[in-house]
Amino acid sequence: MNIKGQHFLTLKDYRADEIAELLDYARQLKRNFKQGQPSTLMDGKMMAMIFQKPSLRTRVSFETGMFQLGGSALYLGPSDIGLGARESVEDIAKVLSGQVDIIMARVFGHEIVEELAEFSSVPVINGLSDYTHPCQALADFQTIQEAGKGFEGLKLTYIGDGNNVANSLIFGGLTLGMHVFTASPEGFQVGEGVQSWAKQVSTETGGSLTVTESVEDAARGADVLYTDVWASMGQESETEARGVAFKGYTIDRRALDLAKDEAIVLHCLPAHYGDEITKEVVDSPYSRVFEQAENRLHAQKGLIALLAGNESG
């Protein structure tokens, strides 16, 4: 596989064998790192990290990942560059391309990462847009593998808002042959475009998407239970109304009892305990939530090195 120089905006752009190879490479880098082997894969290279929104995991994992690979990362927050306001997205992409080796951007509209990619001559990684969060899904899949589960035929149940995180799980999950179930209240289900993409892809991969309002139907027999916040970044003013609409769309003891005995629980974090998940579940032996957060580092190191790394190191 050669994905050197490519952008990483959505898992829809990647084939199953490419995702599998990315995950293998990430696992290898994780093993090397845990054994204390230094890496020079990004020696002398710089990543620009553009953030329109807050972050803990994404910022720390990309910055630490670049450091561990021998390179550096530069944080550019909302007030630093004024993306699209002080300067056009096109010009920012062109300027950064001349000075850094790889760009990561966390944005509101997905069209912003698309525009950065269009005008950048170095790889652009989507570190979350309102549409999709592909780096999160890579770490999620690595965590599922580490729990000893295969992808083909896996029942992955997402309970909650049909948002960017749900979309990434669908894009990557169906590509890898999973049966993804989403349980969301009316009006908050994954978009029509995503559902029709899923229909088309499922005929090719054997994966499937089932969209329901029923938490019970979705959770029954699940191998993986997954959830995310009810109100995403940028939707803060809807928090109260969403709290009412999503009541019951929670991974709790009852949902866990419906899943398989050996099921695991994932959450991309940050979590709102008592809303989309209970603290009891996150603290239970079923939870892989903090391994999942750690894997953001390892999965993204694999990604960075394959997109922009030195040949050896």
Which residues are the active-site residues? 106, 133, 136, 228, 268, 296
222 to each of 45, 146, 181, how far by Cα in Å?
42, 17, 9
Please tell me whether residue 113 binds ligand NVA under the rule CB under 6 A. no
- CA geometry: angle at 282 spanning 275 and 290, to 5°? 120
Binding of ligand CP by 56 (CB under 6 A) = yes
- Comparison of 165 and 266: residue with beta carbon closer to ligand NVA: 165
CA distance 251 to 31: 32
Which of 97, 142, 167, 232 binds ligand NVA (CB under 6 A)? It is 232
Q: In angstroms, what CA-CA distances link 302 with 149, 265, 294?
A: 20, 24, 14
| Shortest spacing between CB 33 and ligand CP, in angstroms | 20
Is 55 a binding residue for ligand CP by CB under 6 A? The answer is yes
Residue 56 interaction partner, one of ligand CP, ligand NVA, none, beta carbon < 5-8 Å per kind: ligand CP
**275, 276, 277, 278: CA torsion to nearest 10:** 10
268 contacts ligand NVA (rule: CB under 6 A): yes
Rg over alpha carbons for the chain, rounded to the nearest Å, is: 19
Q: Cβ contacts of residue 290 below 8 Å, gap of 6+?
A: none
Find the shortest distance in angstroms from Cβ 297 to ligand CP.
12
Q: Is 107 in the site for ligand NVA (CB under 6 A)?
A: no
- Pick the binder of ligand CP from 58, 129, 175, 300 (CB under 6 A): 58
| Cβ contacts of 179 within 8 Å, gap of 6 or more | 153, 154, 155, 156, 207, 208, 210
304 within 8 A of 65, measured Cβ to Cβ: yes
Q: Which residues within the stretch 145-164 sit at the binding site for ligand NVA (CB under 6 A)?
A: 163-164
Provide the 10 A C-beta neighbour count for residue 81: 18
Which residue among 228, 256, 292, 307 contacts ligand NVA (CB under 6 A)? 228
- Residue 269 as a binder of ligand CP (CB under 6 A): the answer is yes
Binding site for ligand NVA (CB under 6 A): 128, 163-165, 228-229, 232-233, 268
Binding site for ligand CP (CB under 6 A): 55-58, 128, 136, 268-269
